[in-house]
A and B are shown apart, each in its own frame.
Chain A
Amino acid sequence: MGILDAIQTGLSELLSHKMRSMLTMLGVIFGVAAVIAMVSIGEGAKQEALDQIKQMGINVIHVKRASITGELADKAEERSPFGLRYADADSITNVCAFADLVVPTREVFADVKAGERPVAVKIVGTTPGYLTVARSQIQEGRFLTDIDIRDHRPVCVLGAAAKRELFGFDDPLGRTVKANKRLFRVVGMLKPKEVGSAKAFAALRDLNSDIYIPINVSMTDFKIASQQAIPADIVKLEKIFLRMLSRQSMANQALSEVIVQVQSEEATGPSASVIRSVLNRSHRGIRDYEIIIPAELLRQSQQTQRIFNIVMAAIASISLLVGGIGIMNIMLATVTQRTREIGVRRCVGATRWDIVRQFMLEALVITCAGGLIGVAGGIGGARAISEYAGWRTVVSMQAIIVSFGVSALVGVVFGMYPAIRAALVDPIEALRYG
């Protein structure tokens, strides 16, 4: 029998039992649909993480101040009284050979007024390099310049959301905002920045509502509350207040974060270890700072992804296994039910191989049809998930091909035994059967 005739025979047999064929397919349909939907969720999460990390920049290192409380706080207060300081930014600039840019930032929360209504924003004191390391772009006007810093100018640049909050649709350039009883002239505003829906990394936050001022203006006009050390001892606490009240040198000014941009992604690892050892020395072993490397986060997320993929593959293969057993069960019942048909076919000239092939093809048609429906269901499921749960999903061609291939394989493997049983039916017995 030609292969086309055999496929046609299989199809017509399946079509004449639509309900049974459908039920037989269900296991495969669900298995394949589950694989595709799950992979697409995983793939979507991966893309999301990738985008966010890319947004942070793959070739930057963030050094952030970290708060220390409890017993360690006493030690921290004695040995490293200022937390992350301006001097740290300087020493990073001096020792890190790969560093292109070292940008210190100083963040304070303040109420800012453009008219009557105060808006709570974060005021970031920084240097011109910030625009580059934060991957922001100017919408209108300009960013902070070296001259702003040199001349200690009270100017500010608005993030897109901050501009909307303060000025609505008006043009803010040249107008002033009031913060901490000081007036700042608006010289520029930033383009809105995409922020991913899932806050996968603590290092990321919505930068759009920030206001940027020259770092030295921030130092004189705003105080950073000491976050890093809150000693239990009242005497020590007093010392902190005294120090905060007295005028400090620039080098001892506390910073929120130092962002270091290095030449390439490969340089992040070595640079981070240099920075770590320098800070370790100057902070005398107190870890009142943390070093965040987006490239490292990316690697970690890929690691997590891999584990997720393995778990998912295991679940999917179990459901396909169950589907395959279901198919074998139905096919065995079919062989018994169709014993007479097998006898007739053998009698008019079908060889054992013809019979094996017929039943194998029927199983294959079932699983392939189930696989196709499953692929459609999986794509639909992924759509539905992103529609209702708001998760990002990415349907990968690879997942479709692999799951469809596996379902076809299930047909071959689990169709084999019933087909061999069918071929071993004795035609004489079969013709007398039923």
Chain B
Amino acid sequence: MPLIEVQDLKKTYRIGSVDVPALRGVSFKVDYGEFVAIMGPSGSGKTTLMNLIGCLDRPTSGMYKLDGIDAGKLSDSARAAIRNRKIGFVFQSFNLLPRQSALKNTLLPMLYANQGKNVQLAKKSLESVGLGHRFHHTPMQLSGGEQQRVAIARALINDPPVMFGDEPTGNLDSATGVEIMAIFQRLNNEGKTVIIVTHEPDIAQHAKRVLRFRDGLLESDEEVKEQRIAVPKPRE
């Protein structure tokens, strides 16, 4: 059973009285343990696809299965539960709660999982991304790279099978971007499925497989021949 199975997925937005097709029938599968980059110019439908497979939105038609669950037809609260347990989100603009500490931000998905909070787990998660010394800093007191690592720690806290990164290095300088990609690669090596959306070919080279979109259709689906290994520069 694949982790993600998409069959003829379509999404049409209605703007005024005009139907605007954003996805026009897309099919693909992603297996457990893959590292996939989704590429395409703006307007190609990659953000729409991300919203659909991230269970933030519902398709107009077509089938979408995540971890064996038919997620396309679920209710709002059922999709919230899937986002909570099956998916870890990492965004371009980090999206941390501004007045909460790194630790509290990391704990957030756990609060909505109804399993009580496990502060030790959150600390471990932050330590795993190299922020063992930053538990009580608020996002304002952290650099961009550190904020993104808090976001990754948050995405990992409920141990979801898949991580979604929406332009995860878009707001970072290239050196910091490499650091973040190194973390994603390490997670992938540890067995986590990682899917990132990017428009930078350099970043996409860190994945094992690239899906290219154009005008709402899947243009190409190819293996990366030489996966680039992210080696962060040691900081002075």
Chain A contacts to B: CB under 8 angstroms:
1-2, 5, 9, 12-13, 16, 340-341, 343-354, 427-428, 431
Contact = CB atoms under 8 A, between A and B. Distances in A.
Nearest to A346: B80
Contact of B112 (A12, A343, A349): A349
A345 B113 CA distance: 12
Contacts of A354: 80, 112
B84 A349 contact: yes
A428 B57 contact: yes
A345 B83 CA distance: 11
Contacts of B158: 349
Contacts of A350: 80, 112
Given A12-B100, A347-B89, A427-B56, 7 more contacts: A1-B114, A341-B97, A343-B95, A344-B95, A351-B81, A351-B112, A353-B77
Nearest to B97: A341
B76 interface: yes
Contacts of A341: 97-98
Contacts of B109: 348-349
B111 interface: yes
Contacts of A5: 111, 117
Contacts of B80: 346, 349-352, 354
A340 B95 CA distance: 8
B99 A2 contact: no
A341 to B, nearest CB: 6
A352 B83 contact: no
Contacts of A340: 95
Interface string B78-90: 0011011100010
B95 A431 contact: yes
Contacts of B113: 349
B83 A347 contact: yes
B99 A347 contact: no
B56 A16 contact: no
Interface in B42-99: 51, 56-57, 76-77, 80-81, 83-85, 89, 91, 95-99
Contacts of B76: 351-352
30 contacts: A1-B111, A1-B114, A2-B114, A2-B116, A5-B111, A9-B111, A13-B99, A16-B99, A341-B97, A344-B96, A344-B97, A347-B95, A348-B83, A348-B84, A348-B109, A348-B112, A348-B154, A349-B113, A349-B158, A350-B80, A351-B76, A351-B80, A352-B77, A352-B80, A353-B77, A428-B51, A428-B56, A428-B57, A431-B91, A431-B95
Interface size class of B (residues with CB under 8 A): 20 to 34
A4 B154 CA distance: 21
B108 interface: yes
Contacts of B84: 348-349
Contacts of A353: 77
A222 B76 CA distance: 97
A351 B76 CA distance: 7
Residue among B76, B80, B98 with max Cβ neighbours from chain A (10 Å): B80
Contacts of B99: 12-13, 16
B112 A1 contact: yes
Given A353-B77, A428-B51, A345 B112 contact: yes
A354 B77 CA distance: 10
Contact of B89 (A12, A16, A348): A348
Nearest to B91: A431
Contacts of A347: 56, 83, 89, 95
A343 B56 CA distance: 10
A5 B117 CA distance: 9
Nearest to A17: B99
The 7 closest A-B pairs by CB, nearest first: A349-B84, A349-B112, A348-B109, A351-B77, A351-B80, A16-B99, A1-B111
Contact of B108 (A13, A345, A431): A345
A13 B100 CA distance: 9
A350 to B, nearest CB: 5
Nearest to B54: A347
Which among B84, B96, B108 has the greatest number of chain A C-beta atoms within 10 A?
Answer: B108
A5 B57 CA distance: 28
A107 to B, nearest CB: 78
Nearest to B51: A428
A191 to B, nearest CB: 68
A13 B117 CA distance: 19
A5 B112 CA distance: 10
A352 B81 CA distance: 11
B84 to A, nearest CB: 2
A345 B97 CA distance: 9
